[in-house]
Structure 1
Amino acid sequence: MRISLIAAALVALPLLTACGGSDSESNITAADVSKALQDGGLKDTKLADCAADIYVSEGISQDGLRLMIKNDIKSATATDPESLGMTKEDSEKAKNATNRIVGECLK
């Protein structure tokens, strides 16, 4: 009986690891960021798409984008991105993106 339990655990471990890793490893796309903006209350789809494209094109890391999506992106743009846990580099990129959004998407 004990051997059967150990064998089952050894078989299940790679499956659980693969399942758990796939979500955290998936790349955040502009479509994901746009959806997060819209879910956060931005009703203008065109503006959400424009802003999302800029956030991604600024080169914010995948970890930074995950933090933005996790922490209501609407409030992330209004506060200091470093307070959300972003690195200094990602924080600077997010600030640059916000400035670009104001100039390029709100025409």
Structure 2
Amino acid sequence: MRISLIAAALIALPVLAACGNDNAAAAPTVTQADLAKSLQDKGIKSKQLADCAAKLFVEQGISQEGLRVMMSDKYDTTAPDQQTLGMNADDAQKARTASSRIATECMTR
């Protein structure tokens, strides 16, 4: 009896872990305002520049996971891989495109 209870627990553990630990789904949606505030907290002094940059990052279509990476403090003291910027390849390309747009659209205002 004891062996079958242990076996049942071992079988159920991966299923329960998969069902109950979906961090991406549980995380709140990152808004443009959240991203702008994070950019200001990380050193962009101009609210107008932070708002413009956040708008372009969001418009570029970076995923919620990519936006969370941008807002996290993970790369505040260490540099991310320059190819991926700590994101998936698609988000990294979108971030590069947004950065180019920021230089032309936000810095001239």
Asked whether the 8 Å contact 1:30–1:53 carries over to 2, the reply is: yes
CA distance in 1, matches of 2:39, 2:94: 17
- Report the alpha carbon displacement of residue 73 of structure 1 after superposing the two structures with TM: 7.9
- Report the alpha carbon displacement of residue 33 of structure 1 after superposing the two structures with TM: 0.7
Asked whether the 8 Å contact 1:36–1:72 carries over to 2, the reply is: no
Matched pairs, number:
86
State the one-letter code of the partner of 2:102: I
CA distance in 2, matches of 1:39, 1:31: 12
- Deviating above 2 A after TM superposition, structure 1's stretches of 4 or more consecutive aligned residues are 20-25, 71-75, 78-81
- Report the alpha carbon displacement of residue 23 of structure 1 after superposing the two structures with TM: 8.6
CA distance in 2, matches of 1:53, 1:71: 20
Q: Whose radius of gyration is greater, 1 or 2?
A: 2
Asked whether the 8 Å contact 1:54–1:100 carries over to 2, the reply is: yes
CA distance in 2, matches of 1:72, 1:48: 20
Q: Flag the structure with higher helix content.
A: 1
TM-score, with structure 1 as normaliser: 0.68
- Report the alpha carbon displacement of residue 50 of structure 1 after superposing the two structures with TM: 0.2
Over 3 Å counting, the alpha-carbon distance change for 1:97 and 1:83 in structure 2 is closer
State the one-letter code of the partner of 1:40: K
Equivalent in the alignment of 1:31: 33
Over 3 Å counting, the alpha-carbon distance change for 1:65 and 1:33 in structure 2 is same
TM-score, with structure 2 as normaliser: 0.67
The gaps in structure 1 that reach 5 residues or longer are 1-16
Equivalent in the alignment of 2:61: 59
CA distance in 2, matches of 1:59, 1:82: 16
CA distance in 1, matches of 2:73, 2:64: 14
Over 3 Å counting, the alpha-carbon distance change for 1:105 and 1:81 in structure 2 is farther
Q: Counterparts in 2 of 1:50-89, with a 5 A limit?
A: 50-71=52-73, 80=82, 82-84=84-86, 86-89=87-90
RMSD: 2.9
Over 3 Å counting, the alpha-carbon distance change for 1:93 and 1:100 in structure 2 is same
